[in-house]
Structure 1
């Protein structure tokens, strides 16, 4: 028996290796290999190949069985091949064929049926095989052909819905197949009985009130409106009916709460497993809901609007305070989905109260469960705004309005609102700015400190908007109106006190008003830097202050302008009006800017600004006033006086530690650089040569020892966006702040801190006498107590000691502040000198700057100042080439020779290497000037260099560096041919 049985198994069995390879490749993880294998297999079952029933049956059995494989890629590849083979086999009628729809359904059912002896994993594989098999059959459309028994369709529905009912973890996939099938049936225009059967089975299996059931119902309602729907499934026959909102919310969040007529036995089980992906039912619902009530058609008149849906189902459902973190996660997924995909009208409605509160809470703390999801949501808002700037208005209203918080960025420790605001376009800003204005006036709190904090945050946000638009290169139409509105908010808040009932609640504190005044400077700083609005918006600010003070539309002005000051202000506005009527030119714009900023200083209470108005009036009359009104006699002298006065005004602006006033001084100086006289340059030079100490400050600003420099240090320490500049005194030693060069009478101020402390302790001990704390205890009863006279005497001595200590510390601070002020001032003056050099390097007057710059590089102990001065000298030397070399006259030749000798004496001083290099550059520059005037001057130049070489050889006090003569030799080589000709 054994031999015979082996022969029976061996004889009929042949292996088709090519077919084996095809089936193996169908399970390959690579898409291209799977598709190629599917194509090879399907090609064997085309009508022209006329496959036999046995071949078809064997292939179907193999493919249906392959769908139950545990290899995930196999289900995809086998499903594709199965769908195409079924389509090919049933594409044309086959004579005498036993392969029909009933046969296929039988093979599918038998191959995907799990036996009781299978393991848990094997059963799961068979369930997925049944699922994928049903999908392949539906996609092939064999069930919807005219000759296909309708009972086979109902059989498939029963098997799929039974699987969904018994195995909730696979229910979403089962529902998805039927949901997509309804769309396929619609495109094929088949009879509605197929959809009606699906709805009937959906109801009979108790799956209507599931997310899958809602999606299937809505698809059928939309695509087959005339179909017969099961009764009593939904009370109002529509899941999206406004009266079904509560039930819909429970269904979509998969709540297990029962309804009154619900059969407990027929109730679908919960899926039991949380899915981090959003259920497809949400897509179905969103696609069916109109954006707003006014967009509804008559057919949808009873349906939920998007806002009602979002509020009831999402905000009060997924984001309810009692909701789990998992449901809130779904809520964030939905939020991101709407932001990414929905039109502006819908996306604008999603910033609801519970959602925004949850977003804030999760953003605020990094270790919270949904922090990463909240961060993604915040970035999605920003991305939507960057792509669609008009969305910025809705986003800021949502985050900062009634549903959000005025201090959203502060609470969340992010810059979400700020980033959104700076991306907004002018149309969005027209909605955002009024909202911020309302919040400034009423920041939703009765606490004065909280209101002040909120107003500062809002002011910072408005400043950020101004800065972003000022730096933008886009020519946005209507942007100036937005900027003027923002500045008007600041003016209203900074300079006026409205009546208690009509004004902000709580009322503005004086510190808050001062903060708003500083914010005006911050805004103007950015606007002036861009030069786009430098001639218009500063004038708009001061004009608004004046007009509002007259009309009292914002309340009573906090500024009292009367008498002489009133006349000066009126005269300044008259000049501004004339300037506004002139054609645009640099000089007129510069005066307009100066007038506006000086007036603003007047409104800010700066006493010096009043006299500056009169000086400005004088300068304006001489430079741009009516020429007929000028006197011909002495007109040139008056213009020179006006130029010198203008330089002094600009220096007063430059002396302030503020980017705003630095930029003003630079812009105006650049417009009038060619009109600066020798006296004006001397004013600049005198500052460069002043000492960087208290004495130098007093010399520059005419201050007494005890006055300090409060006006120059007008700084709000709490401001993050202050335009005050802090000078980095790089190279300066902190321990040497009190050490000033060439001031021997102050050398005693450089005592070490330890010595100062020891001196203080000695004076304290002397004042206490025998009662000093560190005196050894001698056990004397006389030391235990002091009488009143003794205590009074000790108190008087202690007051003197501590007063002396306080005075010493204040004096030390004054010296430190003075140095910082002088370093800042010199930096600003160097900026002006650099502007002058670039614009007027060919002027003979520019040579007067050489010595002051060289002395500055040698004397300063601040590396930043030294570097800046040498850079200016280097730039000056580079610019003076060819025809750009300054031309001298016979009258100025002697002063040029004297300058050359002074430069050589300066080169003999001991100093850093940069100083030596700068001396060489300056000397060669003057040599070029002399030789360009007269080639024979080279003889005298050689003598000067020879005298310097002699001095270097014979005097120990001459410290000329070797590079000084190396540069001279190199210049001689390059200039020799030119001089000979």
Structure 2
């Protein structure tokens, strides 16, 4: 008996099938999605469904339906749709489903058929779909399974569809190329060849890129069919690629219907078929098409050259040797021409990208071992010589020449140097076809610089003799008359300058530099004598100069003959060699420098021990300078010249003299950095005649300074050292404000001032602030002399930095610190000293990071204490300056503290030095007392923060003081916040506390007990007075964090923690905390091991969040009502009312925009609303909002904002009508009337 299923079950299955079918249909629409992963997923889901359906039910209807949809889809207009449907179609045809090819061809003819009613684009898409369907049949197994007739039909459909559009031919031929691997030669001759015979068997003049592309693959696959007779019959030559066919081939390759054909695969196929013998004539044939500028043809040429370098793996040496010929003259000329045009007028990103790709591929190929230096050199000659240019890199904005040079071996570099030398001396021709054309001086000079660059290449790093040869070549051209015929005077002077720049060699050893200089000097000396001085040199040399030259060489010879040379001797040898060559450049500088060197060397030579000891004694004969002082003065003199070579020389030799530096020599260097020293460049550099002119100039400058002083632009800070800038500013403001009042006690009421009085007050205040404004008067353009002085000081800082790298003594390090800090302060004041400011920051950082010193001699406890006091005294200077240098000042103080620790912990110290910690602590204790009790103390707060993070034992004493300050009534509230933060830092310094645990516990036990009592009493008082608003939430948070740090410290401090916890929890029951306060409270409860859940009292209040308005703190904070919810409308009205009131007040005061405070272009809506509102308005708003004025303003709406700057506010009461008129336009007259009623 058959059991009938219920009707409901059948209905459910039908619904389920419909849902599945709908899901499958959705996959068809997603095959045309823009994202590839969506298309692939949809195709996968569709194929899985069809495959499962066919395997289970053998239902071919869904397969046919899908096949029909996919065939129709490949004819879509969208590229994404074509791609998605084609991929799905290929995969569908590969399924193991019995399919008749004839049925598929019928589907193609019915779903993809052209019609006269269709547009051209629709018919083109149909042809594309037919080609893709044929391609899908070829890629699948169906092609192999069908009979010959079906195969012919497929090929016929494919070729006919490809003929419909020129751009479809390549697509159709690509499938035929792919089909060649699936058929035998017999099948090809019977099935494929008859179909394509008419497309390939035609003369050159009707061949296309597509047909040649197909012929290349046919020739490779079936060489017996496409043989010499075939090509002779149809192409007129025995081979497709031969000398006779290159012209026709180039015509086909260089003729493209549109620019997209540049990506045609034939350009890669052709270059693979070109042999070594045909490479040069092939590119010559291509080059003939570049005689006239043509963008597409140039792109094709670039493409072929790029492919040539990409296909060098299987090429032999004969082929590689022909590579330079691919860079033809027309190609290089046209490429450079396009760069010149595009650099001036317009940009062509596609062109730039193609050329960059060519250069990258070429350089990558040259980095391999296949290309030797000869090939690379010949390619570079193509770029640098005709039709190239020596400024090839500049024109193309690339570094291709330098990149190729970096791949050369030593022999290649030397060959390139020979080429450069031939250009410099004029023996190299520009163009082999025109011998009369000569190199211009600019090209020859540029070639000199290219030659100099070769000297510093890594591959010739050890070949010092070759470097000597190149430098001597430049010497002959620049100084001697032997080469005068080929090099003119102007070019010789330029080569001379380049030669001295070339002496700045990057050598790892000082001995290498000495060898090169010595060889140069001796080669020059071999050509000159006292008889030919006027004949051999381009510029005659004086007899006195020659005498000095001989004397220098005699000393050089003596030093070089020594078997063992000390560091000092090496320094002198280097300086003598350099200065001897400077005799032909700057005679006066070289003469003065050599005379000083002679004196120094004689002193050292007379005291033979000085050449070998590590430190030279600082004592010298009375009235006589030490040799190191003279050398230092010489270095400063050399640095005063703006010469990179001299700067490099000093940086090279100065490290060897650092062990001999004394306090005097350091002070010599630091005196240059002294801001009080207005012109150190003028000392000793002028003769007596010149000094008179200088006196006149200085007198004129003094007059200018006096005039500037009279104008009030310069502050008189230095007139009274005892009086600080802040005091003077305060007194000036006091005088300005008290002019219109009868006594000092009478206050100034701005609301009751008339317009005239307000203008006078504005002017007076403007004069005061203009006088004390920092950097006033420095906005002028820096004079040339001042600029030279700034750069001279920057160069002198090199000496300081080098000395700090040489492990200096502590005494000299401390000697350097204060002048550097003083210079840093000077660089902040003057905006033109920005280069020096940046250098000083780095050098100060390096100095203050020193941990090791060569010795501690000369450093005592008194010195360190006095130095610390002098540093802290800087806190009484200008407040604005201190803000900019507070970090450096704090680091210097901490450096002194660290030095005191090093001095105190050394072996064998006396009792006085052991008490150094107490002396330092006394100074810092006094400073921390001033910081927290005096308002005008400018000591940087960051000093105490960083100091408490160090392991200095004196921090314990500071912590004791801070614990007393925490609940001191005389300490202002915001200062107590800083005290709590500092204590948290101290107790978090586990490294310090762990090292001295027992001593710290004994010293602070009594203080901790007092602290526990104070904190318990503090919270009990707050519980008794829950309405107290003097304690701010910020302080409570910091206090909680401080207790957490104390509890977690390694000291294991035993306080009355249970009572403290209970008191704090009781306080919590009275207060509603914010998020930060809750976080700190919860963390503290976890640390103390108590619950953070507290039963709240009935009269819960919020902690005050108002920030103090002045130093005394805000005593009368407005009460908050936590039970009343504030409305955004009231809040918005309040905010707008405050802004309107501010604008009215500013208008009534008659604010001058160019007065003491520059409010120009200030945005009123973006200002903080801190202007007082009339008391009547506050009272009314307070009543409207339920007595609460502390709600944060609601977010500003993001619609159109009406902004008003102070520049648009008229001065005086008479213009209020205009102001109100503007408001009515911006905000609406009705809203203004409503506000006025609320104010009244």
Shift in CA distance, 117/651, structure 1 to aligned 2, threshold 3 Å? closer
Q: Distance in 2 between matches of 1:182 and 1:227?
A: 13
Give the corresponding residue for 2:147: 148
The answer on whether the counterparts of 2:810 and 2:856 sit within 8 Å (CA) in structure 1 is yes
Shift in CA distance, 221/691, structure 1 to aligned 2, threshold 3 Å? same
Q: Distance in 2 between matches of 1:288 and 1:592?
A: 64
Select the residue among 664, 681, 690 that pairs with 1:706.
Answer: 690
Q: Distance in 2 between matches of 1:72 and 1:866?
A: 61
Deviations 1:927-972 (A, max 9, x none): 899989654489999999999x99xxxxxxxxx9975999999999
Q: How does 1:597-612 map to 2 (within 5 A)?
A: 597-610=578-591, 612=593
Give the corresponding residue for 2:442: 453
The answer on whether the counterparts of 2:605 and 2:611 sit within 8 Å (CA) in structure 1 is no
Matching of residue 372 in structure 1 with residue 357 in structure 2 = no
Q: Distance in 1 between matches of 2:570 and 2:311?
A: 48
Give the corresponding residue for 2:516: 540
Pairwise CA distance, 1:33: 2.0
Give the corresponding residue for 1:37: 46
Q: Distance in 2 between matches of 1:536 and 1:831?
A: 23
Give the corresponding residue for 2:288: 316
Give the corresponding residue for 1:353: 329
Matching of residue 128 in structure 1 with residue 95 in structure 2 = no
The answer on whether the counterparts of 2:380 and 2:401 sit within 8 Å (CA) in structure 1 is no
Q: Identify which range, 610-619 or 222-231, moves more after superposition.
A: 610-619
Deviations 1:141-181 (A, max 9, x none): 65567x833x6555554444444445323222223222333
Shift in CA distance, 834/71, structure 1 to aligned 2, threshold 3 Å? closer
Q: Distance in 1 between matches of 2:450 and 2:172?
A: 51
Give the corresponding residue for 1:567: 550
Q: Distance in 2 between matches of 1:858 and 1:739?
A: 28
Give the corresponding residue for 1:253: 254
Give the corresponding residue for 1:21: 25
Q: Distance in 2 between matches of 1:745 and 1:898?
A: 44
Select the residue among 244, 267, 282 that pairs with 1:282.
Answer: 267
Select the residue among 654, 657, 665 that pairs with 2:642.
Answer: 657
Q: Distance in 2 between matches of 1:114 and 1:867?
A: 76
Query: What is the Cα-based RMSD across aligned positions, in Å?
Result: 6.1
Give the corresponding residue for 1:201: 198
The answer on whether the counterparts of 2:647 and 2:795 sit within 8 Å (CA) in structure 1 is yes
Deviations 1:618-648 (A, max 9, x none): 766877999699999xx97899944344333
Q: Identify which range, 104-113 or 656-665, moves more after superposition.
A: 104-113
Give the corresponding residue for 1:842: 809
Q: Distance in 2 between matches of 1:613 and 1:838?
A: 28
Pairwise CA distance, 1:339: 5.2
The answer on whether the counterparts of 2:477 and 2:483 sit within 8 Å (CA) in structure 1 is no
Pairwise CA distance, 1:182: 2.9
Shift in CA distance, 464/940, structure 1 to aligned 2, threshold 3 Å? closer
Shift in CA distance, 61/910, structure 1 to aligned 2, threshold 3 Å? closer
Q: Distance in 2 between matches of 1:387 and 1:937?
A: 67
Q: Distance in 2 between matches of 1:693 and 1:420?
A: 48
Q: Distance in 1 between matches of 2:64 and 2:899?
A: 105
Q: Identify which range, 30-39 or 913-922, moves more after superposition.
A: 913-922
Report the 3-state secondary structure (helix = DSSP H, G, I; strand = E; otherwise coil) of the residue aligned with 2:684: helix
Pairwise CA distance, 1:432: 4.9
Pairwise CA distance, 1:286: 1.7
Report the 3-state secondary structure (helix = DSSP H, G, I; strand = E; otherwise coil) of the residue aligned with 1:568: helix
Give the corresponding residue for 1:327: 297
Q: Distance in 1 between matches of 2:422 and 2:596?
A: 41
Q: How does 1:283-298 map to 2 (within 5 A)?
A: 283-290=268-275, 292-293=276-277
Shift in CA distance, 578/120, structure 1 to aligned 2, threshold 3 Å? same
Give the corresponding residue for 1:516: 495
Q: Distance in 2 between matches of 1:709 and 1:464?
A: 43
Report the 3-state secondary structure (helix = DSSP H, G, I; strand = E; otherwise coil) of the residue aligned with 2:234: coil
Q: Distance in 2 between matches of 1:71 and 1:944?
A: 82
Q: Distance in 1 between matches of 2:186 and 2:525?
A: 75
Q: Distance in 2 between matches of 1:172 and 1:89?
A: 31
Give the corresponding residue for 1:171: 169
Pairwise CA distance, 1:243: 0.9
Q: How does 1:538-687 map to 2 (within 5 A)?
A: 539-540=515-516, 543-544=519-520, 546-547=522-523, 550=526, 558=538, 563-571=546-554, 573-574=556-557, 577-578=560-561, 590-591=571-572, 593-610=574-591, 612-613=593-594, 616=597, 641-677=626-662, 680-681=665-666, 683-684=668-669, 687=672
Shift in CA distance, 363/901, structure 1 to aligned 2, threshold 3 Å? closer
Shift in CA distance, 899/479, structure 1 to aligned 2, threshold 3 Å? same
Pairwise CA distance, 1:120: 2.7
Pairwise CA distance, 1:674: 1.5
Q: Distance in 1 between matches of 2:106 and 2:865?
A: 116
Deviations 1:824-879 (A, max 9, x none): 44444444245445546426566666787688678898656688779867866764
Give the corresponding residue for 2:208: 210
Q: Distance in 2 between matches of 1:481 and 1:180?
A: 62
Task: Provide TM-score, normalisation by structure 2.
Answer: 0.53
Give the corresponding residue for 2:759: none
Q: Distance in 1 between matches of 2:892 and 2:85?
A: 87
Q: Distance in 2 between matches of 1:63 and 1:964?
A: 78
Q: Distance in 2 between matches of 1:286 and 1:708?
A: 79
Pairwise CA distance, 1:251: 1.5
Report the 3-state secondary structure (helix = DSSP H, G, I; strand = E; otherwise coil) of the residue aligned with 2:440: helix
Q: Distance in 2 between matches of 1:144 and 1:904?
A: 94
Matching of residue 239 in structure 1 with residue 216 in structure 2 = no
Matching of residue 220 in structure 1 with residue 218 in structure 2 = yes
Q: Distance in 2 between matches of 1:896 and 1:448?
A: 75
Deviations 1:488-540 (A, max 9, x none): 66545534454467x4xxx3443x33333333444444x45xx5265424642
The answer on whether the counterparts of 1:850 and 1:922 sit within 8 Å (CA) in structure 2 is no
Give the corresponding residue for 2:966: none
The answer on whether the counterparts of 1:22 and 1:37 sit within 8 Å (CA) in structure 2 is no
Deviations 1:670-701 (A, max 9, x none): 2111213455445435545696556x544332
Matching of residue 494 in structure 1 with residue 478 in structure 2 = yes
Pairwise CA distance, 1:129: 2.4
Report the 3-state secondary structure (helix = DSSP H, G, I; strand = E; otherwise coil) of the residue aligned with 1:706: helix
Shift in CA distance, 349/112, structure 1 to aligned 2, threshold 3 Å? farther
Q: Distance in 2 between matches of 1:645 and 1:49?
A: 106
Q: Identify which range, 58-67 or 656-665, moves more after superposition.
A: 58-67
Q: Distance in 2 between matches of 1:738 and 1:641?
A: 35
The answer on whether the counterparts of 2:50 and 2:63 sit within 8 Å (CA) in structure 1 is no
Q: How does 1:888-907 map to 2 (within 5 A)?
A: 888=858
The answer on whether the counterparts of 2:480 and 2:537 sit within 8 Å (CA) in structure 1 is yes
Pairwise CA distance, 1:597: 2.5
User: Structure 2 stretches of 5 or more lacking a match?
Assistant: 1-16, 34-38, 529-534, 711-781, 927-935, 958-995, 1004-1240
Matching of residue 748 in structure 1 with residue 732 in structure 2 = no
Q: Distance in 2 between matches of 1:604 and 1:142?
A: 87
Shift in CA distance, 190/570, structure 1 to aligned 2, threshold 3 Å? farther
The answer on whether the counterparts of 2:112 and 2:130 sit within 8 Å (CA) in structure 1 is yes
Give the corresponding residue for 2:360: 383
Pairwise CA distance, 1:709: 13
Q: How does 1:392-403 map to 2 (within 5 A)?
A: 396-403=380-387
Report the 3-state secondary structure (helix = DSSP H, G, I; strand = E; otherwise coil) of the residue aligned with 1:243: helix
Task: Provide TM-score, normalisation by structure 1.
Answer: 0.65
Shift in CA distance, 909/484, structure 1 to aligned 2, threshold 3 Å? farther
